[in-house]
């Protein structure tokens, strides 16, 4: 890959006295999909929240040379960081179209926004059919598509996905990951995805990191991790 686009160095983060990340080092190349694997409570969600400014951090985060650490989430959104949070963050009383337009809230290019609305609807035809519908009435899978669509409306430089498969049927999840891969290939969007389902994550990702107790314990290409005996035993549920 062409150099490191996102670099994380010695990142510490937590909530009040509870420290969750204890010095995470991470590098993601431009246009890469990077998967973060790990058991419950390892700090995967906190890592994403640290990258989008939702928790206080100590340490370095740089995106294409720009220091991100310490900036609030709205400032990071303006710098092109789109975070699809755990629980999807749907604006339930608003319509699907309004949810999507909110994704482009920080953009000023009216024509580009209209074009991207069209583009997102092409990725997720089910959303096009429901543009005028209240978002709270969507199914879980549709809301996850809406959340990803909303993030794409930013035309993000860095897309953060937190557990996109959570609570969804396997077919829906597979479709979501296929679309994430397509977006990544067509638009060279850099993606960091946290995922419990290691099979899926390793299928779509270029590189992966295993997070345990707030530290990266294993890194490598997705292919290498898939072949790794320890990963297989802990996260893939079989022995190689």
87 vs 170, beta carbon nearer another protein: 87
Select from 11, 20, 57, 77 the one that contacts another protein (CB under 8 A).
Answer: 77
Q: How far is CA 37 from the centre of its chain?
A: 13
The yes or no reply on residue 15 touching another protein (CB under 8 A) is no
What is the DSSP secondary structure assignment for residue 29, as one 8-state letter?
E
What is the per-residue binding string for another protein in 20-59, x denoting contact by CB under 8 A? --------------------------------x-x-----
Minimum CB separation of residue 2 from another protein in Å reads: 27
Pick from 146, 102, 155: which is nearest to 125 by CA? 146
Select from 105, 167, 182, 230 the one that contacts another protein (CB under 8 A).
Answer: 105
Q: Which two tokens stand for residue 176?
A: 């979501």
What is the per-residue binding string for another protein in 122-161, x denoting contact by CB under 8 A? ----------------------------x---x-------
3-state secondary structure of 16: coil
Bridge pairing between strands 57-63 and 66-67: antiparallel
Q: Which two tokens stand for residue 218?
A: 């294993």
Minimum CB separation of residue 239 from another protein in Å reads: 39
Pick from 229, 215, 203, 230: which is nearest to 26 by CA? 215
| Angstrom distance (rounded) from CA 213 to CA 38 | 9
The yes or no reply on residue 199 touching another protein (CB under 8 A) is no
The yes or no reply on residue 74 touching another protein (CB under 8 A) is yes
The yes or no reply on residue 85 touching another protein (CB under 8 A) is yes
55 vs 174, beta carbon nearer another protein: 55
Sheet holding 158-162, edge to edge: 81-84, 158-162, 190-194, 33-37, 207-212, 215-221
Where does this chain bind another protein (CB under 8 A)? 52, 54, 72-74, 77-78, 83, 85, 89-94, 98, 101-103, 105-106, 150, 154
């Amino acid at each position: 890959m062409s150099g490191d686009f996102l670099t994380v160095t010695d990142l510490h983060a937590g909530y009040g006295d509870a420290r969750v990340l204890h010095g995470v080092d991470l590098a993601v190349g431009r246009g890469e999909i990077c998967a973060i694997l790990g058991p419950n409570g390892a700090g995967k969600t906190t890592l994403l929240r640290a990258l989008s400014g939702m928790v206080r951090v100590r340490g370095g985060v740089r995106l294409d040379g720009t220091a991100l650490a310490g900036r609030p989430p709205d400032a990071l959104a303006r710098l092109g960081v789109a975070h699809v949070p755990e629980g999807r963050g749907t604006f339930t009383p608003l319509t699907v179209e309004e949810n999507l337009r909110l994704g482009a809230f920080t953009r000023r290019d009216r024509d580009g926004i209209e074009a991207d609305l069209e583009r997102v609807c092409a990725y997720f035809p089910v959303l096009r059919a429901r543009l005028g519908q209240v978002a709270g009435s969507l199914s879980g899978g549709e809301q996850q598509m809406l959340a990803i669509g909303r993030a794409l409306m930013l035309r993000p430089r860095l897309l953060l996905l937190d557990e996109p498969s959570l609570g969804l049927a396997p077919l829906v999840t597979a479709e979501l990951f296929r679309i994430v891969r397509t977006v990544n290939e067509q638009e060279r969007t850099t993606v960091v995805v946290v995922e419990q389902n290691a099979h899926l994550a390793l299928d779509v990702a270029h590189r992966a990191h295993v997070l345990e107790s707030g530290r990266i314990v294993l890194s490598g290409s997705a292919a290498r991790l898939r072949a790794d005996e320890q990963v297989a035993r802990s996260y893939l549920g079989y022995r190689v």
